[in-house]
């Protein structure tokens, strides 16, 4: 299971612009303060953004805004596709790692990400990474589960589709934040933490990551971890 943002690609600047566009569209207010995004889902970021930007709504009202916001965010991201390609970047080793693991017998690659399925698919497609992952068995931020629980849900989807057991010891989550490491613990997966995001190697070790890599450029090391 792969995280997307700051693990495989960096499209943070464009994503912030899309978020601001969608936020204004559904609330009628400018996005002045953007919450911390690392390791968080789109709904989590949206609800905190409501509070930070003075949108005083009852819980029921804020829940009603989530679906329109998710749709508006997908539209904004799609409209910014040229900017994603021009201003975003692949992180070192991402293509080689996905390609190499796709050749390992018995390995199924998918996503566990805070992005919605449309946005995650768009980010991968822009950089040609979508060919290596099975999105149908992934877990996405637009779903109702906490990320740790969602990991188990995604594993069950893979078991149903492929007819084999993806037990806890046979599942690996590659991501970049301390929150992702915690999700791996809750979901019963091995965690490979990559210090390509906002968390340092020391912070990832302190969070309890099973393995910590500085980046994804050591493909043979990553394959050895997964196949072990």
pLDDT computed for residue 145 by the predictor? 83
Long-range contacts at 168-173 (CB < 8 A, ≥ 24 apart): 171/1, 172/1, 172/225, 172/226, 173/1, 173/3, 173/112
pTM for this model (two decimals): 0.92
Measure the CA–CA gap between 211 and 182, rounded to whole angstroms: 13
Look at residue 60 in the predicted model and tell me its pLDDT. 54
Instruction: Look at residue 72 in the predicted model and tell me its pLDDT.
Output: 97
Can you give the pLDDT at residue 24? Answer: 95
Buried b (16+ CB within 10 A) or exposed e, 87-107: ebeebebbbebbebbeeeeee
Q: For the structural domain made of 89-227, what CATH number should be given?
A: 3.40.50.1000
- Domain parsing of the chain, residue ranges: 12-85, 89-227
| Residue linked to tokens 């188990």 | 152
For each successive 10 residues of the chain (228 residues), what is the average pLDDT? 97 94 94 84 91 76 86 96 95 98 96 95 97 97 87 93 88 95 94 96 97 98 95
């Amino acid at each position: 299971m792969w995280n997307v943002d700051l693990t495989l690609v960096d499209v943070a600047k464009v994503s912030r612009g899309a978020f601001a566009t969608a936020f204004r569209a559904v609330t009628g207010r400018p996005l002045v303060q953007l919450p911390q995004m690392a390791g968080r889902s789109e709904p989590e970021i949206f609800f905190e953004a409501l509070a930070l930007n003075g949108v005083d709504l009852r819980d029921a009202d804020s829940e009603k805004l989530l679906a329109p916001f998710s749709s508006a965010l997908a539209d904004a991201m799609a409209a910014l596709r040229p900017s994603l390609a021009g201003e975003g970047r692949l992180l070192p080793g991402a293509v080689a790692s996905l390609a190499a693991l796709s050749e390992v017998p018995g390995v199924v690659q998918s996503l566990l990400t805070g992005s919605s399925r449309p946005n995650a698919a768009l980010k991968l497609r822009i950089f040609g990474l979508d060919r290596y992952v099975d999105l149908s068995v992934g877990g996405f931020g637009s779903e109702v589960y906490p990320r740790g629980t969602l990991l188990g849900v995604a594993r069950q989807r893979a078991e149903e589709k492929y007819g084999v057991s993806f037990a806890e010891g046979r599942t690996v989550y590659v991501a970049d934040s301390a929150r992702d490491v915690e999700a791996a613990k809750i979901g019963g997966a091995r965690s490979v933490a990559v210090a390509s995001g906002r968390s340092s190697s020391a912070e990832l070790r302190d969070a309890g990551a099973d393995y910590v890599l500085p980046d994804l450029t050591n493909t043979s090391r990553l394959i050895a971890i997964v196949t072990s």
